Each structure stands twice: as C-alpha cells, then as structure tokens.
Structure 1
Amino acid sequence: MQLLYSWFRRHPTVADAVWAGLLFLVCLLEGVSQLHTNRDHADTGGIPYPMTAFAVISVVLCVLLVLRRRYPDVTVGVAIAVGLAQVAFHWSPISADAALLVIAYTAAAFAHVWMSRLTLLVGTLAGPMFFYRFATGVDHRTLTNAVLSLIASSPFILSWVLGRLTRIRRAYYMELEDRAARLERERDAQAKVAVAAERARIARELHDVVAHNVSVMIVQADGASYVMDSSPEQAKQALGTIASTGRQALEEMRRLLGLLRSADSVGEYVPQPGVEQLPDLLEQVRTAGLPVAFSVEGEPRELPRGVELTAYRIVQEALTNARKHGGPEASATVRIRFEERSVEMLIEDNGRGASAQLARDGGEDGFGHGLIGMRERVGMVGGTLDAGPRDGGGFRINAVLPLAPSRRPSTAPST
C-alpha cells in the first residue's frame, strides 16, 4: 500500500485521471437515470433536461480534473465559465459539479495569485447565486437568506482554504530545501577555505623547515670543504652537524606529511616544536657560525600550542635570514619578554643590512614566504609584527603575541 501511495505521489496526473474516471462513471449512471426521467417528462408533456448540456458539462469537468495540475490557470478559468453557464441557463447541479470543489482547491494551491483570489470571490458568490436561482419556497427574511447563502458557499470556501494551506506548506518545504541547499553550498565553501588554509599552513611549515635546515647544511658543507685538508677533525664535526640537521629536517617533514594522511597515522610523528625547543635551535644556529645571545624577561608561563609554534617559527625564520644575509661578522640577539596578557619577541642582528630589502620582498627566497609567512602566523593568533632595518645597521623583528591571563608559571627555556 505504501509503495502504491508513493507511486501516485510521483505521478499526480495519473491519480487525477483515476479520480476523474470514477467521477465519469458516476456521471454515466446519473445520465442513464436522467434519460429515463426526461422520457417520463416527455410522455407527460413536461420539460426534459438538456442531455447535450449534461454530457458536455460532465466531459469538460472530468477533463479539467485531469489537467488541473498541468494547466491550473486555464483549468480554473474554464471551470468558472462552466459554473456561471449552469446558473445562467438554469441548469440544475449534477454529479460532475463535485469537480468544481477540486478546482477551487487547485486555484488556491497551484494557480496564480490573481486567479486564486478570483476563485475565492466566485466561490463566495456561488452560494447566493445557487440559493436565489434554484431554491423555492424559502423564507425571504434577510438573516435567514444570508445564513443559507453562507452554508451553500462553505464547501467552496473550505476547499479554497485547504488549497491555500497546501500552497503555504509547499512554499515552506521549498524554503527548507533552498535553505538546505544553501547551507550545503556554504559548507562546501567553508571546507574549501579550510583546505586552502591548511595547505597554506603546511606550505609555511615546509618553508621554515627547508629554509632553516638546508641553509645550515649548506653552511656546514662549505666549511667542511674549506678545512677538509687543513683540519680533518673540524670537517668531521661539520659533517656530523650536516647529518644531525638532515635527520631533524626529515623528522619534521615526516610530521608535516603525516598531517595529509589518515588520523590513525598522525600520532606516529613528533609533536610540533615550541618555546622549549628554542635552546636546541639556538645551539644549531651557533654551530652554523652565527653567534646568538638569548634572554628571557618576566615570569615564564605556559603558552598555547599555536602561540608556541608561532614563536618558534618566527625566531627560526629571523635567525635564518640573519645567518644568510648578515655577513661573516654578524651576530644576533633574541629576547623574549612575558607580560600579563602577551609575550613579546625581539630578534635583532647587526649584519650588513641586505636582509632588509630581501625581507620586504618576502624573504630570502624571493617567493613571498619569509616576512609574509611571519605576518600570517602572527595574524592567526591575533598578534602584531613590526619588521624593518635597525638603527646602526642590521635588521630587527618585533612580534607581540596576545595571551590569556596567567594561571600558572612554566619553566623558562635556558641556553
């Protein structure tokens, strides 16, 4: 039964045709009965019922019942004309007139607004027209006539109201479907934005890993080749630094690539670096030939993971630029100051100043991943970044990262 009901809902015209067929059978039975009645009227000298009009009205109304969903405005207009013709020619109501109630429902549910309002007006007047045209022997007091007219019009009005409720419900469902489709589109757009943001984040991470570790390896390789003959022991130490730096870079790249894999495999990779790893980073930079002074001011505290990673990457990027562009006699200072609601980082070098222009162009590689990457990282945590040439030569980077109010102290990184 449920399958049959679902099938008819998917094929409403077929359902209307079935109901029209049943109504037509009723009209045939009424026509046979009316034919015998007309013969009796003829034998007694009475006025026979117009059978031609009966047949035409029955066929037209049944056909309109089938076509009412496909051509609602035309169907309603023809039905109104048929009803008015019956009243004008004094044709008594017949069984096929039951289709007029369905047409009134169709006008309110499917036709245009102006046709729906016209149908309501005609349906409201149908009772008075029927009452004064066909009723006989009725009390002609005004109140009684009004009540009887209202009763006669109520089937049309109720059919119209039911159709109006159907239209409202259909519009509500369409609005829900439109809203669901809009939300789905917004969800897809947000997913694309999230994917783009994740790709940008991974690109920044890869840039930081490659730029820092590869530059250390290049410096150590150049130094090893320079002292290979004169000081084999120093060359051996440089090669060891290259190997350890390469392993560190490989571990970080494995971690980043693990983010692109399934969630089950992400846990196999090392965690993201933070402030605690700064001493190892500074030692690596010093080994590569850049003297670095490190100081911590204020009371150290536990930082959110996003702020820790941002702080680590800013120091890493700044020291990488200083080592590559500061010159052979350059040195750098890193100062971290903990405030109640922020942590301030100041990285300065006294190099020859060439890094200033390179940083303005986007970093040491010229592809927009240096200073731009720093600004993106700082912006993601709601901080500010000030970068530019330092008085007296060199370059400075000052970053302020906001924090929540302090809850408990944390061990400061030592060098």
Structure 2
Amino acid sequence: MASPPARRARLRPLARLARALVAAVWTGRAGPPHPRPRWLAPRVPGFLSLLPFRTIDLVLIADLVLAFILFRAVQALLTTEVADLAAPLDQGEIAFIAATSSLPLALRDRWPLTAWRLAVVLIPWGVVTRGYDLEALFSADAVIMYLLVVYAVAVRCERHVIIGVWMISAAALWILGIQSGPDLPGVTFIGIAMVTVTVLFGYNVQGRRTAAGRLAEEERRSEQALAGQAVLEERARIAREMHDVVAHHMSVIAIQAEAVPLKARGDVRLLEEGLGEIRTLSLAAMTEMRRVLGVLRDGEGRTDTAPQPGLGRLEELAATARTAGLTVALKLGGDLLDLPTAVSLSAYRIVQESLSNAMRHAPGSAVTVKISRSGDELNIHVTDDGGDRSAAGAAKAGGEKHTGHGLIGMRERAAMLGGSVWAGPTGKGFAVTAILPIMEEA
C-alpha cells in the first residue's frame, strides 16, 4: 500500500489538470492588455478632440470589421443555400448561425476568455440549428474566428488557463473525429495541429511582450536613478561653491572681532557699532550656512575654495561665448552689483549654463540676456533664435549627447534660494526664465 506522500505525488498532476480545466471553463481571468505600439494606436486628430477617447485602436477596429464581414458572408451563404436544406431556415435562425461566427470575434480584444467560452458554446449550437452538418465546424468562418479567439487567450491569460483551453479544444476535436466516422478524422488532426500551433505562437508572443515590458520598466527605473544621482551631484557642487561664500563671512567676522576692541579703545559707541557689524555678518553667514545644509544632502562634505564668480563678470562670460560663435547681447537693469553673494553666483551660473546650451544645440545663434532687479526679485531671461540647427544635429550624430543635467542644476540653484526656473522652446529657439528672490544678508 502506497504511503500518503506517494499518493499525493501521483495525484498532483491530475490536480493540476483539473485546476487548468476549471480555470478555462469558469474561474480563469484574462490579464490586462499589453500597450499597443504607436502605429496600432495613433492619436485622435485635432479636429476630433471632442471624442471621449484619445487614441484609435486599430486592432479593435479590425476585429469589428472582420466580424461584420464574417456575419454578412455566412448570412449570404445560408440565404442562397436555404432552399436545399431538408428543413428550411427562417431569417432569425440564419442571423443566429451567422452570429456564432462573428460575436466571439468582436469580443476577443476586451474579454478574450469570455469570447472563447462563448465560441465553445455557440459553434455547436449553430451546427445543431443548421441541421447537424458537422462539416460546418470546419467552415472557413468558424476556423478563422476560433483560431483568433484562441490566440487572444494565449496572449493574455496565465499558462494553466491556456493549457485548459488547449485541452478542451483538442478533446472536443478528438471526440468529433470519433463520432464522425471515416469522413473527418484527417480534418480533425489538422484542426488539433492548428489549435496547438496557435496556442504556442500566442504564448510565445506573450512571453516576448512581458519581457519587453520588464525591460522598459528597468530602463525607466535606471533613468530615474540617474536623474536622482545627477540632482545629488549638482547639489553637492552648488554647496561646494557656497563654501567659499561662508568662509569669507567667517574670516571677516574673525578679523572684526579682533579689531573692534582695538579700534574702540573704551569708546562705548564705537564698540556697539563694531559689535553690530559682527552681528550683521554672523546673520549673513548663518543664512548662507542654512542654504548649504539645505542643498548638501550627501555625507561627503568636500569643499572647493576656488574664487566664485558673480554678475560682475558677465561681460567676461559674454566675451567667451562670442569667441565660440554666438552673438550675445546683454541688457542689464537695476543695481546688480549690490546683490547677496549667493544670488549673484546663482544668477551667473544660470546664464553660464544657458549660453553653454546655446553653444551645443544652437551654434551661431543670437542670444539675448536680460537681467533686471525688481524690488526683492532678480529676473533673468535668456533666449536664442535657434541658430544653425543642422550643425547641432551633426554634432549629436557625431556622438555628442545632451544629458539635461544643466537644467537640473538651474532648477536646484533657484530652489535653493526659493526661486523658480522655466525652460522650453520658443519659436525656432529656446528660452530660459528664472526668478530669484533677493534676501538681504543682514
């Protein structure tokens, strides 16, 4: 007598087959449709923008058209042959038989498993209505409809459901071959082979689409990770630049703290003035330090003590851009030399990156740089006219690739100061607009 584990091991394949059959007939559900390629789902033209959908599903349209063609073809065929039947069919019966070959096809895209179940019921029912003509099972309309429905199941359903569908289809064809006598066995074997090939092909398509979807998801995650890394790197670079600003303030505070007592020599008024200056510088240093801590979110904390530029060096920056082939026009308004160091540095870097983008993507263009101070805001507007786009395209084809990190840096600099940046095409060119709040260092 076999042990319980051995009996369970023998019964396990039967349980799997039973599960597959039950899933195919009743419990199974089709998975979500795979995204259509753009050529199979083009966007709705602008003059049809009031329609409730945004894309045109060409696969669904093809199914509906084919279903209509099959319906009309079977209807016309039965209408011409009705006189030869022993029991003539009325128009309702003819319409029902035609629907058995068309209705599942119209439903297969949205509900593939339901369409298959409907086909399994409607095809024999249509044969019975037609007068037990078994050859109708292998008519062109029935074969086309059934294979397309089985393909939809193989593309959208789980493996055990697909196995159940194949088993039921093969068993039905085998039983039909036994009951039909010597007339249809060869056709039955061909039918089983066609269903098998359709199932294998559809399951292979499902596997390839699933793999492609996973690959696209991994690429999306990789791009997000690279973008996040670029943001962190840009924040670290900005913070290293701001280090020099804070170091300058602290150096001045140390000098003032040493010089004020010597300068005051017991004069209370001079001592108060000196302490007030130290307080002002301390508040400015604390403001800059908070900005650095807000930007620098990694743990390295490396410093770069190179002198940092500001708006006072705009003419030098424009001259460098002109030597690279750009035509640069500066339009400056308001007092731009009396800006907080952090604001002046960020504004300089935004203009610098905008000019670099124009050199890469619009060589030879005319660039206008407008900077104005309005109350407690600094407005920056950099535009180019597009220049020689063909040259830029040749540069890209030669291997140059714009990573987009420059725009990330602009936005990070503006966000550090509580400002904002807009960038995008305008006409044939490109425009960058930034608004930076001016917070006094005292």
The TM-score normalised by the length of structure 2 is: 0.44
The TM-score normalised by the length of structure 1 is: 0.46
Q: Using CA pairs below 8 Å that are at least 6 residues apart, which structure has the higher relative contact order?
A: 2
Q: Which has the larger radius of gyration?
A: 1
